[in-house]
Amino acid sequence: MGVRSDVVVIGAGQAGLSAAYGLRRAGLAPGSGFVVLDGEDGPGGAWRHRWPTLRVDRAHRIASLPGLPFEPADRTRPAAEIVPAYFDAYERVFDLQVRRPVRVSTVRSTGPDLHVETDAGTWTTRALINATGTWTRPFRPRYPGAETFRGRQLHTVDYNGPEEFAGRRVVVVGGGSSAVQLLMEIATVAAGTTWVTRRPPEFHDEPFGEEYGRAVVARVEERVRAGLPPQSVVSVTGLALTPEVRAAQAAGVLDRLPMFERITPDGVVWADGTSVAADVILWATGWRAALGHLAPLRLRGPGGGIAVDGTRVAADPRIHLVGYGPSASTIGANRAGQAAARDVVALLREPAAA
Ligand code: FAD
């Protein structure tokens, strides 16, 4: 059975906190009304793990959570320091009583109830707001020969700043903004860098207009409504042509090559036999939604994704996915969290089906 709570929110990143705020505002009490379970040791969601050179003034734009403005005194400090401090204050101001570290392993369904199984016991609930983000599920594509490489391979989640690449020959794989940022940093200290992406990168003049942002979100929304795996909003916005990016282009750092065919012990090789020697391969190849704990609910459809209408899972209206697909940005997570909270509160008012 386990502890009963009307709503369980899994994850205390931007999406989970904004949902918790919506539930609190609707009058639900922490504990019996709602509980937020988070796998981290402290506040901040994935921002706790962003690399030290990712600064707030260089981020795309970090939106305030609802009800408390994000106004850091020093925007040149690492996001991994400032955002967790802000989330900490947020949780205290709105008394959200996040339970951590609590790692959810599995969610099961019996009749009208959902059972949320964790390393700290089981919660039983009528509604679930899932806000588990992507950081815990880095994606690394398979290429032949990867296991033979004598150098180091790492993913963006393992990146800790450029210093450790001093004097190394580094291949950076991936066409997103993380790849570009890391590449620009590493190029200042490395013996050489090579950038490879599957598709030619698309650069856009800054700033991204609102209309463009809406069009991107609509594209991702269409995919998740159709039950296809989402693309990240941040990844489909394209790359901003900042002064820094223009300088890197002029210096040849962003001269891009198509994907190589295979990996050798000493580097990477293309189909035409061209090769590049490397000491390091950095996979800046993104993330997938961290939804493994929902597997027993069998929500995935034939398209490989979970069909979602707004934030509500089409196959099971008790479950909402926030920070997923079109809401995988700080501003999107804000809206999605609150929309899910409203919907769940309405659901709780309905008599429970047997
Ligand atoms: P997260 O912040 O990842 O929070 C999810 C939480 O759930 C974590 O605390 C995690 O530990 C927890 N969790 C996961 N699985 C479990 C489990 N099984 N049990 C318990 N807890 C669990 N967006 C912007 O708008 N502006 C930016 O500048 C920007 N920069 C970005 C830079 C990078 C490198 C990346 C990867 C993303 C960036 N984004 C940015 C996207 C943005 O960070 C997220 O979309 C947004 O913060 C929403 O976060 P979230 O709450 O969905 O997830």
Q: Is the peptide bond before 101 cis (omega within 30 degrees of 0)?
A: yes
Ligand 1 centre to CA of 135 (Å) is 6
What is the C-alpha separation between 174 and 97, in angstroms, rounded?
38
Ligand 1 centre to CA of 133 (Å) is 5
pLDDT of residue 235: 61
Site to probe by mutation for ligand 1, drawn from 35, 38, 64, 99 as the one with most ligand atoms within 8 Å of Cβ, is 38
* Non-local CB neighbours of 8 within 8 Å, separated by 6+ positions: 34, 35, 37, 114, 116, 123, 125, 127, 128, 129
Q: What is the ipTM of this complex?
A: 0.98
Distances (CA, A) of 306 to 8, 179, 227, 290, 347: 19, 27, 5, 12, 20
Ligand 1 centre to CA of 330 (Å) is 8
Mean pLDDT by 10 residues, the chain (354 residues): 92 98 97 97 97 86 93 93 97 98 98 97 98 96 97 98 97 94 97 95 73 72 81 68 93 96 98 98 96 96 91 96 90 94 94 62
Ligand 1 centre to CA of 223 (Å) is 20
Q: Is the CB of 339 under 6 A from ligand 1?
A: no
pLDDT of residue 61: 79
Ligand 1 centre to CA of 323 (Å) is 7
Pairing relation of β-strands 113-118 and 121-125?
Answer: antiparallel
Handedness of CA 173, 291, 337, 229 (dihedral sign): positive
pLDDT of residue 180: 95
pLDDT of residue 224: 82
pLDDT in tens, 31-45: 999 999 999 999 999
Q: Is the CB of 324 under 6 A from ligand 1?
A: no
104 CA: nearest ligand 1 atom:
19
Domains annotated for the chain, with CATH where assigned, are 3-136+287-348 (3.50.50.60), 146-202+238-283 (3.50.50.60)
Ligand 1 centre to CA of 207 (Å) is 23
47 CA: nearest ligand 1 atom:
2
User: Token pair for residue 173?
Assistant: 């794989």
Q: Is the CB of 337 under 6 A from ligand 1?
A: no
pLDDT of residue 236: 65
Site to probe by mutation for ligand 1, drawn from 36, 62, 329 as the one with most ligand atoms within 8 Å of Cβ, is 329
